[in-house]
Structure 1
Amino acid sequence: MEDNPLDAMIVERTISKIAPGTFIERAEDGIEALEVINSGTLPIPFMVLLDINMPRMNGHEFLKELRSNSGASSSIVFMFTTSDSAQDIEKAYAERVNGYIVKRHNKEGMKSVLQTLQSYWTTCELPCGPNEQSLFLA
């Protein structure tokens, strides 16, 4: 989930370069993200990049709700945020986030993080279909 259009654009462009063919869906807040996930339209499996600071429902609230939802409770979620607060990190892991990543503010730093996530995905997860991967920006 990403409410910042510039950050979303950077992530989408970088992913399209390092993993062409990746299906990317974007939600601007936690409520919209839950609606998308519960609609069943996302290719499975999918990975969620989750920001904390969003309108209506923040990332922590979303993660708590997602983990209590039996249909998607085991989804892969990486907190991808500007907050390096120990309290935010502890809270995210208490809600079973798969990883906590502080956003880098430069192009190369962002590319490095997204390449690492791409490597994780191709090593640890089965693709959705031929040349398909699914990423959900929440």
Structure 2
Amino acid sequence: MPQRETQPILIVEDSEDDFEATIRAFKRANLKNPVHWASSGYEALELLEKMPRPGLILLDLNMPGLDGRKTLEMIKSNDTWRKIPVVILTTSDDERDIEGCYALGANTYVQKPVDLDGLFAAIQRLKEYWFEIAILPLEG
């Protein structure tokens, strides 16, 4: 479905190195969607006001300022954004984080692999699920 390739992806990640690694993984997975990057929760909320509605948000939890938990809460409590799938992509495997994110409306929780090959494999699986299997909501 060509429309899937036009849906932007918003990556909310404070580490430029992690963002660049994710972009490399997207390229290797042949994910052609436009990508927007927010390096903080505040920046993500500002971008959501301006950019076309993303088909998917990848959200890190542990960021300075407005962290991923609060950002997730704000996204899911907003009538315009609540249907956007949010994938938590973080190093935390703390059960409280996992439970808390699902309680706030996260669609998926993925622990970031520690090596690049693991990240490539995880992004490939995310691409297959979110952009080839799942049907994402359209804007509106």
Does the alignment reach a TM-score above 0.5? yes
Could you tell me which runs of 5 or more consecutive residues in structure 1 were left unpaired when the two chains were aligned: 129-138
Aligned partner of 1:35 among 43, 46, 61? 46
Q: Which residue of 1 aligns with 2:26?
A: 15
- Counterpart of 1:97, as a letter, is A
Q: So what's the TM-score if we normalise by structure 1?
A: 0.85
Q: Which residue of 2 aligns with 1:110?
A: 119
Q: Which residue of 2 aligns with 1:4?
A: 15
Matched pairs, number: 126
Change (3 A) 1:62 1:54: same
Identical columns (%): 32
Deviation (angstroms), 1:21: 2.3
CA RMSD of aligned residues (A): 1.7
Secondary structure (helix, strand or coil) at the match of 1:70 reads coil
Aligned partner of 1:82 among 91, 98, 105? 91
Secondary structure (helix, strand or coil) at the match of 2:34 reads strand
Deviation (angstroms), 1:19: 2.2
Q: Which residue of 1 aligns with 2:7?
A: none
Deviation (angstroms), 1:96: 1.1
CA–CA distance in structure 2, aligned partners of residues 53 and 47 of structure 1? 19
- Counterpart of 1:31, as a letter, is Y
- Counterpart of 2:39, as a letter, is E
- Counterpart of 1:62, as a letter, is T
Q: Does 1:57 align with 2:66?
A: yes
CA–CA distance in structure 2, aligned partners of residues 26 and 125 of structure 1? 23
Higher relative contact order (CA 8 A, sep 6+): 1
Deviation (angstroms), 1:7: 0.6
CA–CA distance in structure 2, aligned partners of residues 118 and 91 of structure 1? 25
CA–CA distance in structure 1, aligned partners of residues 105 and 71 of structure 2? 12
String of CA shifts for 1:84-127, please: whole Å, max 9, x gaps: 10111110000110110000011211011101110012211369
